[in-house]
Chain A
Amino acid sequence: MSKQPYRILLAKIGLDGHDRGVKVLARSFRDAGHDVIYTGLWQTAQATMCAAMQEDVDVVGVSLLSAAHMTIMPEVLKWRKQYGIEHVPVVLGGIIPVQDYDAMRKMGVAALFNPGSSIEEILKEFSRLAAEASHGTLEEVQAGYTTGDQVALAKLITHIQRDTDGNGWAPPAGDALVLGITGSPGVGKSSFIDKLGRELRSRNLRVAVVAVDPSSPLTGGALLGDRLRMMSGSPDENFFIRSLSSGTVLGGLGPKAKEVVSLLSGFGFDIILLETVGAGQSDVAVRELARHTLLLLMPDSGDSIQFSKAGLMEIATCFVLNKCDLEGADRTLAHLATAVGGDRPLWKVSTLHNEGIDKVADWVVAQR
């Protein structure tokens, strides 16, 4: 295993929903100690490569079983160029007739895998390509960062995370409003952030999201799946999403979370939304970084009791009751209102129907 985990992006593009292979691979890469960003179903080539750029991945793996590779892969490579990340190798797996291999290679696909390829063989090839991946020198990307180059920003985050000592350089001070967003799994944090982020974008604010997922304590690898809920709209350079693994320190925000936030703020983002796993120490860590901590809850989850026990109700400075399209929303809201008291805001939201998000956005804007 490498000293640092590789960052691998796995993508399904188009309408093809066959995801057995890509899921097996994602888990296998995690188990081999790597960070895997999966962008979910039904993505466009453009959104995939925008994600690859912002996440500064070492390799992009595309899975296609829909026979659309001759149409989709040229698009993928076109957007790779447009986003300025031609250094990132793109590999392709799925149902690709041997007859098309040459065309794919000529186009610039770095490797091809078929249903008979073993995981070991795929892993080996990804690792070989990842080991060669270039993130530029620290000085190069620092220079790029200061010119407002987003590719450089993405690479700099990787450098800051991977290197223990920098060269004394520091980003300019920014004035981003940092909002921590937490809540137990299943309450819809990522989808909520997607909608809130897009609402803030519609008000001409530049938004960055840092989404932290836990690393496996055994292998150090991580499945970074939050991003796939944040790709509902068209790709947008001023909606910058970065997925981080928490690292093996229990309950942490991942290495150098504070520095990553400073980088984003210094780059000129107006709002930084920091999504955490919603358990234990990460929430205390969030409080140190964020001006406000927003706790997301859902109807009838019993969470109000659970959270007050865990002390989260005290840490949070504002509350959102999500999924208010579900039964029992009003009852839970009444319970919550009592528990929260009058001095902290509480909103009723349905991410599904995009209701109530604007009110939260109003408040966020007013905090700046």
Chain B
Amino acid sequence: MGAHGVKPTGQTAAVATTMPVTPDRGEDGKPFVGPEDLKDFDPAVSLAQPSEYPFTRGIHREMYRKRLWTMRQFAGFGSAQQTNERFKYLLAHGQTGLSTAFDLPTLMGRDSDDLLSLGEVGRCGVAISSLDDMRRLFDGIDLGQVSTSMTINAPAAILLAFYIAVAKEQGVPLDQLRGTLQNDILKEFHSQNEYVFPPPPSVRLVIDTIEYGTQCTPQWNTVSISGYHIREAGATAAQELAFTLADGMAYVEESIKRGLDVDAVAKRLSFFFDVHNDFFEEIAKFRAARRIWAKVMRHKYKAKNERSWWLRTHAQTAGVSLTEQQPMNNVVRVAYQALAAVLGGTQSLHTNSYDETLALPSENAVKVALRTQQVLAYETNVTQIVDPLGGSYFIEKLTDEIEAKAEAIFKEIDAMGGVLPAIDRGYFRRAIAESALQQAREYESGQAIMVGVNKFREEQGKPIEILQVDQATEDEQVARLKELKKNRDAARHKAALEKVRQSAGDGENMMPSLIEAAEADATVGEMMATMQTVFGSYDGGPEW
């Protein structure tokens, strides 16, 4: 009988009530951490106060009291018009920033009518092949008023060109554009595989957008340096942290090589981390990230402006932690992960929907995810005190440990000559694949537990309702694109693509010619193919 005379329900088999000890937690066998474990810890050096270097405790003094994190739910599916409706729905329900998910063809720089796009148009995000599509996506939304995040990498410069062209049409001055381009090609080579060109010209394109941003769109975050995909592909928390910051340093170094002022570049760099299940480790990861970045920006790259030392970050709850089995359990996982991100001091947050292992989220699931953030923000009072775990023996020890692990990884990467040579050797892919295999083995052996999957299993219940994108979307999109290709000004289109080819070859900044090509109705696929004639394509390097 239960404690209150209530019969326990559910699982009837005997369940062990002792917990296995996580190997990297309490290796000395102690169930608690005390001052003796933090002998070299000096709060004045390692912590300071929130808003003070090295920003371990946060970049702002009042944090969420003054400004809540941005609730930014990633959305996009089907046609530009369908996503436009979802955007308006989210804005109407209190979301404060837009976040665009593109479909796979767009992410790979291919048009909706490409042979390899078959069956994938509008499935995992919105299909954008042309300026006309982008115009429909933001129809009735004032680009001077919203902050827009675009999750796009290999063709990022082209999608930015479309956005800028729409802003110009709306009459919005470019220096008022606010938002973020993911534009982090390095992590594509490590993990997400949405690369097209070889690493050197890919990085050059990123630096082109950074340079253009410093001149024309000063409020726009040109790169969102992402650990999310690295983690989702199987990296450990320390690998996620180290690989991401190493990528960030590579962009800073390349920008300096381009002759850009480090302070102009740094303030427009933002980060994007995963937030996984290991609650305290995740909090420590965010804290260590801020501390490491502040140190390297200040001392290694000699940034003078204090804002350049800030690591501003977006966070998303861990997609890989969600389960198809008993999907409502995902609501709980997401809530704990969201709490960790907030205790870690994130600037913006996406909470996953409980049905995302099955399909794109349904409207109802998206609403629950957004409400999860709202409950956290408005009901729990965690917003009232900055870095409430700061000074905890355990959290400080974990923060130091994860920083030390990251430092060791930086040394390995440096020894290979930096991030690009390490990619050439397959270092990142190999390391991530090995970690993924290790984790798979832990779940396989039962050493790690996933509730509802390798413990507390149930017979599969009734399938939940999921979002279906019908084939008609693809057919309509392809038809509209064919129409566009037929009706555009052929001579202007040809001349614009020739300019793209020239600037790719000449090494000048690609942005002006891409914007011009966008305005001449050149498509994503055409611009990518044109650049490919100069840049070549990448086969993924030695490791797979």
Contact = CB atoms under 8 A, between A and B. Distances in A.
Interface in B423-451: 424-426, 433, 436-437, 440, 443-444, 450
Give me the 9 closest cross-chain CB pairs, A-B, nearest first.
Answer: A71-B119, A17-B193, A68-B119, A15-B104, A352-B536, A67-B123, A116-B453, A24-B440, A186-B542
A139 to B, nearest CB: 38
A228 B452 CA distance: 36
B357 interface: yes
B540 interface: yes
Nearest to B320: A20
Contact of A229 (B324, B426, B539): B539
A115 B454 CA distance: 12
A95 B108 contact: no
Given A17-B193, A95-B358, A97-B463, A66 B124 contact: yes
Interface stretch (A34-42, A77-85, A153-161, A238-246): A34-42
Contacts of B539: 191, 229, 232
Contact of A116 (B320, B325, B437, B537): B325
Contact of B116 (A17, A20, A42): A42
Contacts of A70: 119
B119 A353 contact: no
B175 to A, nearest CB: 35
A114 interface: yes
B222 to A, nearest CB: 23
Nearest to A97: B358
B463 A23 contact: no
Q: Interface on chain A toward B: helix, strand, loop, or mixed SS? A: loop
Contact of A17 (B192, B198, B359, B463): B192
B120 A14 contact: yes
25 contacts: A14-B120, A15-B108, A15-B117, A17-B193, A24-B440, A38-B544, A42-B108, A42-B116, A44-B116, A67-B120, A67-B469, A68-B118, A68-B119, A72-B119, A95-B359, A97-B358, A99-B463, A99-B466, A115-B324, A119-B440, A185-B542, A186-B542, A191-B539, A228-B544, A325-B536
Interface string B32-65: 0000000000000000000000000000000000
Q: Chain B interface mostly helix, strand, loop or mixed?
A: loop
B380 interface: no
A287 interface: no
Interface in A40-54: 40-42, 44
A61 to B, nearest CB: 15
B343 to A, nearest CB: 28
Given A116-B324, A118-B454, A20 B436 contact: yes
B151 to A, nearest CB: 14
Interface string B224-238: 000000001110000
A27 B485 CA distance: 45
A28 B440 contact: yes
B24 to A, nearest CB: 21
A120 interface: yes
B194 interface: yes
B433 A23 contact: yes
Given A71-B120, A115-B324, A228-B544, 18 more contacts: A14-B119, A15-B120, A23-B436, A24-B234, A27-B433, A41-B540, A42-B108, A44-B115, A66-B124, A67-B120, A68-B118, A95-B357, A95-B358, A97-B358, A99-B463, A114-B324, A229-B539, A352-B536
* Interface size of A as a range: 35 or more
A259 B240 CA distance: 48
Contacts of B433: 23-24, 27
B137 interface: no
A225 interface: yes
A355 B56 CA distance: 52
B323 interface: yes
A98 interface: yes
Interface string A182-225: 00011000010000000000000000000000000000000001
Contacts of A20: 232-234, 320, 436
Contacts of A19: 193, 233, 544
B454 A186 contact: no
A185 B539 CA distance: 15
Contacts of A125: none
Q: B324, B426, B460 — which one has the most chain A CB atoms within 10 A of its CB? A: B324
Given A28-B440, A44-B116, A186-B425, A352 B198 contact: yes
